[in-house]
Amino acid sequence: MSDTAPHLLEVDNLSTYYFTRDGVVKAVDGVDLRIDRGEILGLVGESGCGKSVTSLSILRLVGEPGKIVSGSIHFEGEELLTKTIHEMQAIRGDRISMIFQQPVSSLNPVYTAGFQIAEVYEVHQNLKRKVGLEKAVEMLARVGISDPVRRAKSYPHELSGGMAQRVMIAMALAAGPELLVADEPTTALDVTIQAQILDLMRQLRADMGMAIILITHDLGIVAEMADRVAVMYAGCIVEEATTDVLFARPKHPYTVGLIGSVPIIGTRKEWLEVIPGRVPNLIDLPPGCRFASRCRARVDNNLGICTVTEPDLLEVEPAHKVRCWLYQEIPS
């Protein structure tokens, strides 16, 4: 397996549906992802496009009423979807870790920061509490917390948002995972702290060599951090390319709209570009391309097929995939 597929993580045709009373919400619908060792993959899209559900699916943490209905997830050649609960528990936090958006509330209020990091060692490496605490202090120093001995004894409510996120990162990286899933790690932080945290993540990536899936809606962060970017829309990946290529030559109308809607510091525009319309209801998706109803290019080029058949995600240039009829042959 690993001979033919050298990727660290391979997600194929992953679909995660939520079975609600109103109907089936197709939160993730046929997503393919590849990530190699030491790579940072940016996963961008607006709220509700399925970014977080994709990451939760990789760790198999989708809760009721959600369910992974199809697809496969290979991590170092092993299929994760057929693992038992105990096998998954052994993988989570040890080989794949995750950090969350709200750092302060993601820490347990009744335990000190050091204790919570030490517990990761206890759970995954069977270390004694005392040894774990010593290593926790080391880890805190490593994520750039000053006075780590003292800070290890702090409770979460005594930490600032930036520090709490550093503690979360220390917890996630304690066991030395090969893959870190960062779900909007800096959304709740202000910009200066944001820069520090991103810097830290990049530096730790260089030190420890883990791969990172960086989930965000902030294109600035992606441009700065990611090696490769996948753009998600309504549960699907619509475009995937290296970061430079994606920002220089975006192809999918949605990506073009996204990049156009970012204000540029120092210039004033009368209007910011806006993508008209709203994300379609994920319960009963219309046939055809999911973006069709909001797509200017469809109208300009008078493409009838967009509302009839969904395009495939095809490689239009080397390492640049787009899911759009503009770039592929329309079947007659």
Partner 1 sequence: MTGPGSLVPDPLHPEGPLPTGPLPEGADLRGETARLPETRGLWATAFRELSHKRSARIGMVMLGLLVLVAIFAPLIAPYEPTQVLLGKEDVRPRDPPCIHLFGCDDSKPQHILGIDGNGRDEFSRLIYGSRVSLIAGVGSVAVAVAAGTLLGLLAGFFGGRIDNLIMRVMDVLLAFPSLLLAIAIITVMGQGLINAMLAISVVTVPAYARVVRSAVLTVRENDYVAADRALGVSTSRIIWNRILPNSLTPLVVQATLGVATAVLEIAALSFLGLGVRPPTAEWGSMLAAERNQVFTAPHLVFFPGLAIMWNVLSFNLLGDGLRDALDPRLNR
Residues lying near partner 1 in the complex (CB under 8 A) are found at: 59, 61, 86, 88-94, 97-98, 100, 102, 105-112, 119-120, 123-124, 144-147, 150-151, 153-155, 158, 160, 162-163, 168, 171-172, 181, 192, 196, 266
Nearer to partner 1, 91 or 215 (CB): 91
Backbone angles phi, psi at 12, to 5 degrees: -120, 125
Nearer to partner 1, 170 or 295 (CB): 170
Backbone angles phi, psi at 306, to 5 degrees: -55, -35
Minimum distance from residue 78 beta carbon to partner 1 (Å): 15
C-alpha span between 68 and 73 (Å, rounded): 11
Minimum distance from residue 96 beta carbon to partner 1 (Å): 9
Tell me if 205 sits within 8 A of 216, measured CB to CB. Answer: no
| Partner residues linked to 35 by β-bridges | 9
Nearer to partner 1, 63 or 318 (CB): 63
Distance of CA 161 to the CA centre of its chain: 20
Number of other residues whose CB lies within 10 A of the CB of residue 41: 25
| Partner residues linked to 237 by β-bridges | 232
Nearer to partner 1, 87 or 207 (CB): 87
Can you read off the two tokens belonging to residue 261? 């809607």
The residue ranges of DSSP E strands in the chain, in sequence order, are: 9-20, 23-35, 40-44, 66-75, 78-79, 96-99, 179-183, 211-216, 228-233, 236-242, 314-317, 320-322
For residue 291, what are the CA distances in angstroms to 1, 297, 326?
Answer: 36, 10, 13
Between CA 318 and CA 320, with CA 319 as vertex, the angle to 5 degrees is 90
Minimum distance from residue 162 beta carbon to partner 1 (Å): 7
Minimum distance from residue 179 beta carbon to partner 1 (Å): 12
Nearer to partner 1, 97 or 216 (CB): 97
C-alpha span between 213 and 195 (Å, rounded): 17
Nearer to partner 1, 181 or 214 (CB): 181
Nearer to partner 1, 92 or 323 (CB): 92
Minimum distance from residue 89 beta carbon to partner 1 (Å): 5
Question: CB neighbours of 195 closer than 8 A, spacing ≥ 6?
Answer: none
C-alpha span between 122 and 94 (Å, rounded): 11
Minimum distance from residue 61 beta carbon to partner 1 (Å): 6
Minimum distance from residue 94 beta carbon to partner 1 (Å): 6
C-alpha span between 86 and 181 (Å, rounded): 20
CA-closest candidate to residue 207, choices 254, 173, 167: 173
Can you read off the two tokens belonging to residue 135? 């290593």
Nearer to partner 1, 50 or 162 (CB): 162
Distance of CA 62 to the CA centre of its chain: 15
Nearer to partner 1, 147 or 317 (CB): 147
Minimum distance from residue 228 beta carbon to partner 1 (Å): 23
